[in-house]
């Protein structure tokens, strides 16, 4: 802290207000008690004594979104649940953070192709800060995700003036846009075109006998 | 009682109204007409030799081969089956009753085939029938509260039908 450092008596620390707030905030992330499927078991293990999330200040699982600032979406989100997830997210006070825990919340996971009822990634519903892949992720992985959230909190510049406006976390929305030469109103024809295109590129990429 | 005896007592009671039977299957079953279902179920439940007091589950099975090349070899015409698994606690025996239905009522796509509800015989049928209605699209006539049980109320279609098409989006959330 430059010239003020070490000029006062012992046990007197100087810092900026922002750093102090960020330090307090990152050291007491309160997650929401919110388990949707099997990943919740691993989240509970992370909170329990062996892995002990409380070492990092995030062990106080709150039973209400209004007291929480970290949402760990642990488990498969289906369409019926998606509106509830969104509402819980909206009920959390700012600043709020979201960890997408597990393959299902990262992008549909094993339900990507044939899960008629599963949201293909919770980032289609709420903005996600940290993705923790795995099926389910190990508790260590979730702790790592938590630390990345803490890094993010540490970097927050809420009080500093003239900071660039933070770009919202990129969320995948809308349909997949296909180039016009591969798209067709008839989905079967479109699929044929895409297959032909994929085959052609694969043949072109194949090593030729010289 | 073993399966042949159960089938024999059913045939003695109903005669030709038991359409067919298969007793060498792992779960021996008889096939009845939907119109006779409630009567057969009442007999199975109330007859002192049978006493099927537990309805284990109701399943909807969609027999449809989507691939036109494989369809002639599939060994069945496209149809829908509703399967009732029954057990008896007093006699410790089990039996299966099947219904064979058209995939759509009078081949009009979207019109669900109609089956009489057996909630009057077994209260457990309530949620089982709601689930079959929800996922397989079978209408249970006489059910007290037939609405979707697993999917949300405004869902379109019945996902466990083989020709079900996945939604492209649901309330603004991209589907595929």
Q: What is the pLDDT of residues B62-82, one digit of tens each?
A: 998 888 888 888 888 889 999
With a cut of 70, say whether residue B129 has pLDDT above it: yes
Average pLDDT (A95-120) is: 89
Average pLDDT (B121-142) is: 92
Q: Do A80 and B166 touch (CB under 8 A)?
A: no
**Chain B residue at shortest CA distance from A107:** B176
pLDDT at B152: 87
C-alpha R_g of chain B = 18
Given a contact cutoff of 8 angstroms between Cβ atoms, the answer to whether B29 and B98 are in contact is yes
pLDDT at B16: 87
pTM above 0.90, yes or no: no
Q: Do A79 and B170 touch (CB under 8 A)?
A: yes
Residues from chain A that touch B169, judged by Cβ atoms under 8 A, are 175
HEC-encoded secondary structure of chain A: CHHHCCCCCCCCCCCCHHHHHHHHHHCCCCEECCECCCHHHHHHHHHCCCCCHHHHCCCCCECCHHHCCEEEEECCCEHHHHHHHHHHHHHCCCCCEEEEECHHHHHCHHHCCCCCCECCCHHHCCCCCEEECCCCCCHHHHHHHHHHHHHHHHCCCCCCCCCCCCCCCCCCCCCCCCCCCCCCCCHHHHHHHHHHHHHHHHHHHCCCCC
Residues from chain A that touch B174, judged by Cβ atoms under 8 A, are 120, 124, 172-175
**Chain B residue at shortest CA distance from A173:** B174
Given a contact cutoff of 8 angstroms between Cβ atoms, the answer to whether B104 and B113 are in contact is yes
The C-alpha of B112 sits at a distance from chain A's nearest C-alpha, in angstroms, of 20
Average pLDDT (B138-142) is: 91
pLDDT at A68: 92
Q: Do B173 and A79 touch (CB under 8 A)?
A: yes
Which of A116, A124, A176 minimises the CB distance to B173? A124
- What's the pLDDT tens digit per position in A141-199? 999 999 999 988 888 887 777 766 555 444 454 455 567 777 788 878 888 887 888 78
Given a contact cutoff of 8 angstroms between Cβ atoms, the answer to whether A33 and A46 are in contact is no
Average pLDDT (B116-134) is: 92
- What's the pLDDT tens digit per position in B35-68? 999 999 999 999 999 899 999 999 999 998 888 8
Given a contact cutoff of 8 angstroms between Cβ atoms, the answer to whether A67 and B139 are in contact is no
pLDDT at B56: 93
> Helix axis angle, A39-47 relative to A139-154, nearest 10°?
70
pLDDT at A170: 46
Q: Do B173 and A82 touch (CB under 8 A)?
A: yes
- What's the pLDDT tens digit per position in A40-97? 999 999 999 999 999 998 888 989 999 999 999 999 998 888 888 988 998 998 888 9
Residues from chain A that touch B159, judged by Cβ atoms under 8 A, are 116-117
pLDDT at B175: 74
Q: d(Cα A27, Cα A25) in Å, to the nearest integer? A: 5
pLDDT at A174: 45
- Antiparallel, parallel or unpaired: β B173-174 and B169-170: antiparallel
Angle, CA B75 vertex, CA B22 and CA B140 arms, to 5°: 65
Question: Where is B97: in which H helix or E strand?
Answer: strand B93-101
C-alpha R_g of chain A = 23
pLDDT at A10: 78
pLDDT at A199: 80
Residue A135 CB contacts under 8 Å (≥ 6 apart), including other chains: A102, A103, A104, A109, A110
What average pLDDT is seen over chain B?
A: 89
The C-alpha of A167 sits at a distance from chain B's nearest C-alpha, in angstroms, of 21
Which of A80, A116, A172 minimises the CB distance to B166? A116
Residues from chain B that touch A119, judged by Cβ atoms under 8 A, are 173
Name the pLDDT band for B33 (thresholds 50, 70, 90). very high
With a cut of 50, say whether residue A17 has pLDDT above it: yes
**Considering only A118-122, A193-197, B5-9, B12-16, which range has the smallest mean pLDDT?**
A193-197
Angle, CA A43 vertex, CA A40 and CA A47 arms, to 5°: 135
User: Which one has a higher pLDDT value, A203 or B112?
Assistant: B112
Residues from chain A that touch B134, judged by Cβ atoms under 8 A, are none
Q: Find tokens 């030709």 and name the residue.
A: B16
The C-alpha of A101 sits at a distance from chain B's nearest C-alpha, in angstroms, of 19
Average pLDDT (A136-145) is: 92
Residue B162 corresponds to which tokens in the numbers above? 């083989």
Average pLDDT (A27-40) is: 90
């Amino acid at each position: 802290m430059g010239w003020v450092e070490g000029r006062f008596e012992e046990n007197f620390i100087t810092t900026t207000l922002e750093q102090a707030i960020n330090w307090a905030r990152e050291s007491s992330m309160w997650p929401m008690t919110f388990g949707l499927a099997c990943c919740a078991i691993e989240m509970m293990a992370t909170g329990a004594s062996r892995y002990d999330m409380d070492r990092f200040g995030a062990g106080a699982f709150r039973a209400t979104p209004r007291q929480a600032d970290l949402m760990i979406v642990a488990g498969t989100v289906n369409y019926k649940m998606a509106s509830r997830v969104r509402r819980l997210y909206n009920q959390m006070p700012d600043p709020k953070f979201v960890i997408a825990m597990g393959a299902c919340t990262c992008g549909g996971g094993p339900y990507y192709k044939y899960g008629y009822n599963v949201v293909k990634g919770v980032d289609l519903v709420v903005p996600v800060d940290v993705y923790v892949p795995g099926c389910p992720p190990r508790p260590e992985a979730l702790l790592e995700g938590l630390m990345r959230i803490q890094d993010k909190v540490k970097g927050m510049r809420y009080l500093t003036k003239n900071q660039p406006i933070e770009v919202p976390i990129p969320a995948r929305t809308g349909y997949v846009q296909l180039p016009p030469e591969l798209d067709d109103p008839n989905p079967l024809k479109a699929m044929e075109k895409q297959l032909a295109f994929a085959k052609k590129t694969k043949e072109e990429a194949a090593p030729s006998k010289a | 009682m073993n399966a042949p005896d159960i089938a024999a007592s059913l045939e003695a009671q109903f005669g030709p109204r038991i359409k067919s039977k298969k007793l060498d299957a792992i779960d021996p079953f008889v096939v009845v007409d939907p119109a006779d279902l409630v009567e057969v179920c009442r007999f199975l439940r109330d007859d002192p030799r049978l006493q099927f007091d537990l309805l284990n589950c109701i399943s909807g099975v969609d027999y449809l081969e989507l691939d036109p090349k494989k369809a002639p070899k599939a060994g069945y015409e496209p149809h829908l089956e509703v399967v009732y698994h029954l057990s008896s606690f007093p006699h410790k025996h089990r039996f299966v009753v099947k219904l064979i239905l058209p995939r759509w009522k009078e081949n009009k796509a979207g019109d669900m085939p109609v089956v009489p509800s057996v909630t009057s015989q077994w209260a457990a049928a309530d949620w089982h029938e709601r689930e079959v209605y929800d996922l397989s699209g079978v209408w249970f006539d006489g059910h007290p509260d037939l609405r979707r049980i697993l999917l949300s109320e405004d869902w379109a279609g019945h996902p466990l039908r083989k020709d079900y098409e996945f939604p492209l989006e649901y309330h603004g959330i991209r589907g595929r």
